[in-house]
Amino acid sequence: MKSRKLLSAGALLAVILLVAAGCSKKEDNTGGSAGGATQKCQADQFGCVVYKPGEPIKLGTLLAISGDVAFLGTDSQHGAQLALDNLDGNMDGKLGQTLGHNWTMVNEDDLCSKDGGQAGGTKLASEPNLLAVIGTSCSSSALGVADKILSDKGIILLSPSNTNPNLTGEGTHQPFYARTAHNDKIQGAIVADFAFEKLGIKTAATIHDESPYADALAAVFRDVFVQKGGTITANGNQAIQSADTDFKPLLTTIAQDKPDFLYFPDFDPACALIAKQAAEVPGLEKTALAGSDGCLESAFLKTGGNAVFGTYASGPDLSAIKQGGFYNQLVAAYKAQFGTDPTASFHAHAYDAVNILVEALKKVAIKGTDGTLSIPRTALKDALLATSSFKGVSGVLTCTPLGDCATDVTIAVYKAPDFPVEGGNPNSVPLFSETKKLTDVGG
């Protein structure tokens, strides 16, 4: 048996120094470490958002929560709130926790306009310790406005309902922008399929308002419809202002060509008024009328009344997500907390947006021994855009580098008054439903 040898004073000192060095690499009470939070935050172009012990994680929303399109923004806001509520597995009206920190929400109004996106985006960009923003509702509030303002600050803007293709287009995408809503390259193509293949339509006309949403969606429809062999009539590419209320002169011009199909993917009340007034215009008696998700909501039915019955509208296929039992729980909690059925079709997308953000946060947050969280902004964005095969309420989400997370989308076409919204039929079954991948339409 070998005898034990005592360490020399020099060797003992070396051991002590090694132990001390090892301890120095552990998280300190500021949330950082010699090789952890401090270095990562310094290396990040936008630094870290830091939450001290007991400080809530701050989530912003920039949604259309007032005016004629409030149904759209409040629906998404409710979906986001329910996602935070359910972090503890119980939708009881109390926001949950992540990594030991509560959540709080800071809500701004995008007004469904460029000016609203500018004002709301600027205000949120200056909000201290803001983690990210769920928004906007309308593409006009994001494109070249809120998406750039927030991206320049390294703050994620994650939309549940923006659908304009340019928001995720090569050369126009802002690096901190993403969405769980579909790209209208998909929706426009599916509406064209519905008109040409399901209804056997040969001629069509379109009306778009000044919003990037409606302009792009109508353009995609026209392009795909023509590719299929259809014809856009001579007066078939018309524009309006969303504040307009008298559309009879414009409809009379369109009626000269007697189109088989009139597509107006505008926001309400313009969408409802177009459908209502078209019923009174000679030459449009046999014309099928159709809008999209800007029309697929309760205000369309309230504004148009019986006169708009028979109008088609496209949007996310809610019948597909209702097959899962959890969606019914989500809607039940929605109604219990907010006193109404969902008013639009994007609450599920907002719910999913919050959840993929939370998952990205968990992957990159550096937690100090005292509970402080340090979250590198660029790493958070990269983790979000790396989302793959996430099973959400609205479908399976896999984000592209350009921010499209809904890359495999099912779009449905419903017929008024059988809309899956308040005042319609929450259990409505679509007349037509089709699934396309973003790659199918050049995305």
pLDDT digits (tens, 9 = 90+) for 232-270: 999 999 999 989 999 999 999 999 999 999 999 999 999
Same domain, 301 and 331: no
The model's pLDDT over 370-421, given as tens digits with 9 standing for 90+, comes to 999 999 999 999 999 999 999 999 999 999 999 999 999 999 999 999 998 8
- CA 58 vs. chain centroid, Å, equals 19
Which residue has better confidence, 212 or 426? 212
pLDDT tens for 264-277 read 999 999 999 999 99
- The pLDDT score that the predictor gives to residue 323 is 65
User: Residues 358, 421: one domain?
Assistant: no
Q: How far apart are CA 374 and CA 46, in angstroms?
A: 12
Does a structural domain hold residue 234? yes
Q: What percent of the chain has pLDDT over 90?
A: 82
| Mean pLDDT (the chain, rounded) | 91
Within-domain flag for 5? no
Residue type, 221: F
- Range 62-80 average pLDDT: 95
Task: Answer yes or no: is pLDDT of 8 > 80.
Answer: no
Question: How far is 285 from 258, CA to CA, in rounded Å?
Answer: 9
The total number of residues written for the chain in this structure:
443
Residues 291, 372, single domain; the answer is: no
Query: What integer pLDDT is reported at residue 19 of this predicted model?
Result: 38
Mean pLDDT, residues 47-52: 97
**Span 22-51, average pLDDT:** 68
Looking at the fold, whether 247 and 149 belong to one and the same domain comes out as no
**pLDDT tens-place string over residues 340-358:** 988 888 999 999 999 999 9
**What is the per-residue pLDDT for 271?**
96
Residue 307 maps to a domain? yes
Q: Are residues 280 and 197 in the same domain?
A: yes
Instruction: Using the predicted structure, report yes or no on whether residue 34 has a pLDDT greater than 70.
Output: no
- For the entire predicted model, the pTM comes to 0.87
Residue 334 lies in a domain: yes
Quick: pLDDT tens for 95-144: 999 999 999 999 999 999 999 999 999 999 999 999 999 999 999 999 99
Q: What average pLDDT does the segment 66-81 reach?
A: 94
Quick check: 15 pLDDT over 60?
no
Indicate the range of 30-39, 131-140, 198-207, 367-376 predicted with least confidence.
30-39
Place of tokens 């509406």: 191
Tens digits of per-residue pLDDT, 410-431?
999 999 999 988 788 877 889 9
- How many domains does the chain fold into? 2
pLDDT of amino acid 320: 66
Query: What is the per-residue pLDDT for 68?
Result: 85
386 and 303, same structural domain?
Answer: no
List of residues 6+ apart from 352 with CB closer than 8 A:
83, 160, 180, 390, 392, 393, 394, 397
Domain co-membership, 306 together with 430: yes
- Examine the domain organization and report whether 159 and 199 are in the same domain: no
The H-or-E segment that residue 339 falls in is: none
> How many angstroms separate the Cα of 399 from the Cα of each of 81, 215, 382, 396?
22, 25, 10, 10
Q: Tell me, what's the pLDDT at 343?
A: 85
Q: Domain range spanning residue 332?
A: 49-182+321-407
Q: How far apart are CA 348 and CA 137, in angstroms?
A: 13
Residues 288 and 338 in one domain: no
